[in-house]
C-alpha cells in the first residue's frame, strides 16, 4: 500500500488510522467537509467534500487513484455508490467500516449471519435512516453496494462498540458517570449482550487488513461480551459505588440498550492471525481511567 484515501480521518479511529499510515510512509489523503481542524500538518493531502452532496464527491474524487480507500463516514448506500462511481477503476481495495448492527439479534454471531451479496438495496439519503433500525439498514445496504457493484476487492469490517480514551461518543463514560452519581440506568433488557473493541486495536486492525490479501466481511473485536447488568456490576466493583437499573427506558436510557443481544464471535479473525485486547482487561482499564477523570473534575 503506497497511497490511501481516508474518508473522514480527523477523529477517533479514523485519526488513529491516519497516524499509523503516515508513520508507515503511506501517501495519505484525507477527505472531509473541511470543518474540523486536524494536526497532521504537511504529512497528509486534503480534499473537501460532503457525503450528502454527490456533486461535491464527484468533483473531489473523479479521476483519482488510491491503493486503498478507508470509509469511516458512510451512512447511506447512496454515499458509498457515489464514491465508487467517482473513483471507478481507481480503487485498489475498499475497506468499509461497518458494524455488528448488520446482524439480526443474537449471540456468537458469525460473518455468515448476514450476506450482503443477497441483500436487496433500496437507495435513501442518510436522513431517511432514523434510529437504530435505520442505521442497521443503511450499513446493510452500503455493504451490499460494495459487494454487488464495486470494481475492486472489498473488506467490510463489522465492529462492536468501540471504546478508548478518545471516544467522543462518551457511551461508555455514560455508565461510569451514572454509577458514580447514583443515577439509575434505563434498560428494557439489561441482560442483552454486546461486545467491545479498543480504538487502538480497531485502527491497527484496519491497517493490517488493508495490507493483507484478505477480502470479504470480517468481525473484529475483543473476544467475549457483556450485558448492561454485568458492565454496571464491574463499574460498581471497581469504584465501590452501587447502581440501579430502571426498566423505564425513557429514564436515563443506556446508549448500549438496543433491546436485544448483538454479540459477535471473532473466531474467524483469530484464524486469520488477527489478535485483540482481552475484553475484561480492556473494560477494567476504561472504568479506572474514566473514574479517575471524573473524580478530578
Please tell me the total number of residues recorded for the chain in this structure: 297
Q: Which three cell numbers stand for residue 173?
A: 463514560
pLDDT of residue 279: 97
Identify the sign of the CA torsion 116, 120, 123, 127.
Answer: negative
What does the pLDDT look like over 17-44, one tens digit per residue? 999 999 999 999 999 998 888 889 999 9
Structural domain boundaries in the chain: 3-161+198-219, 163-195+224-260+278-296
Strands 196-198 and 161-163: parallel
What does the pLDDT look like over 205-230, one tens digit per residue? 999 999 999 999 999 999 999 999 99
Is the pLDDT at 173 greater than 80? The verdict is yes
Class of domain 3-161+198-219: alpha beta
pLDDT of residue 294: 81
What distance lies between CA 81 and its chain's CA centroid? 19
Is the pLDDT at 56 greater than 70? The verdict is yes
Strands 153-159 and 66-71: unpaired
Average pLDDT over residues 181-198: 96
- Residue 292 to residue 53: CA distance in whole angstroms: 43
Q: By percentage, how much of the chain surpasses pLDDT 70? A: 99
CATH fold of 163-195+224-260+278-296, please?
UDP-galactose 4-epimerase; domain 1 (3.90.25)
What is the CA angle 106-130-265, rounded to 5? 20
Nearest Cα to Cα of residue 73 among 158, 113, 13, 16: 13
Average pLDDT over residues 57-75: 97
pLDDT of residue 100: 98
- Starting at the edge strand found earlier in the chain, the sheet holding 226-227 runs 106-109, 262-264, 193-194, 226-227
- Residue 215 to residue 219: CA distance in whole angstroms: 12
Residue owning grid cell 434505563? 186
Average pLDDT over residues 47-61: 96
Q: Which three cell numbers stand for residue 259?
A: 433491546
pLDDT of residue 297: 66
Average pLDDT over residues 80-104: 98
DSSP-H helix ranges across 62-213: 77-87, 131-149, 171-180, 199-211
- Residue 19 to residue 14: CA distance in whole angstroms: 9
pLDDT mean across residues, the chain: 95
pLDDT of residue 249: 67
End-to-end CA gap in the chain: 44
- Residue 72 to residue 70: CA distance in whole angstroms: 6
Amino acid at each position: 500500500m503506497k497511497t490511501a484515501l481516508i474518508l473522514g480521518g480527523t477523529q477517533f479511529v479514523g485519526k488513529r488510522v491516519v497516524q499509523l499510515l503516515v508513520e508507515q510512509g503511506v501517501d495519505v489523503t484525507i477527505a472531509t467537509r473541511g470543518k474540523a481542524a486536524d494536526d497532521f500538518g504537511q504529512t497528509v493531502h486534503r480534499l473537501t467534500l460532503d457525503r450528502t452532496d454527490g456533486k461535491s464527491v464527484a468533483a473531489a474524487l473523479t479521476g483519482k487513484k488510491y491503493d486503498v480507500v478507508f470509509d469511516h463516514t458512510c451512512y447511506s448506500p447512496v454515499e458509498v455508490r457515489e464514491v465508487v462511481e467517482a473513483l471507478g477503476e481507481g480503487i485498489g481495495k475498499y475497506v468499509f467500516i461497518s458494524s455488528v448492527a448488520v446482524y439480526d439479534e443474537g449471540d456468537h454471531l458469525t460473518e455468515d449471519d448476514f450476506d450482503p451479496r443477497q441483500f436487496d438495496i433500496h437507495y435513501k439519503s442518510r436522513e431517511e435512516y432514523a434510529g437504530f433500525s435505520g442505521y442497521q439498514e443503511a450499513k446493510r445496504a452500503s455493504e451490499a453496494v460494495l459487494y454487488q457493484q464495486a470494481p475492486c476487492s472489498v473488506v467490510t469490517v463489522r465492529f462492536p462498540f468501540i471504546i478508548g480514551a478518545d471516544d467522543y461518543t462518551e457511551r461508555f463514560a455514560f455508565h461510569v458517570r451514572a454509577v458514580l452519581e447514583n443515577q439509575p440506568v434505563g434498560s428494557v433488557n439489561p441482560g442483552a449482550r454486546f461486545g467491545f473493541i479498543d480504538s487502538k486495536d480497531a485502527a491497527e486492525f484496519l491497517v493490517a487488513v488493508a495490507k493483507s490479501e484478505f477480502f470479504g466481511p470480517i468481525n473484529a473485536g475483543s473476544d467475549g461480551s457483556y450485558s448492561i447488568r454485568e458492565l454496571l456490576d464491574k463499574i460498581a466493583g471497581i469504584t465501590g459505588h452501587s447502581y440501579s437499573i430502571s426498566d423505564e427506558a425513557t429514564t436515563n436510557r443506556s446508549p448500549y440498550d438496543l433491546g436485544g443481544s448483538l454479540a459477535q464471535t471473532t473466531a474467524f479473525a483469530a484464524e486469520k492471525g488477527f489478535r485483540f485486547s482481552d475484553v475484561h482487561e480492556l473494560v477494567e482499564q476504561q472504568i479506572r481511567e474514566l473514574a479517575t477523570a471524573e473524580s478530578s473534575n
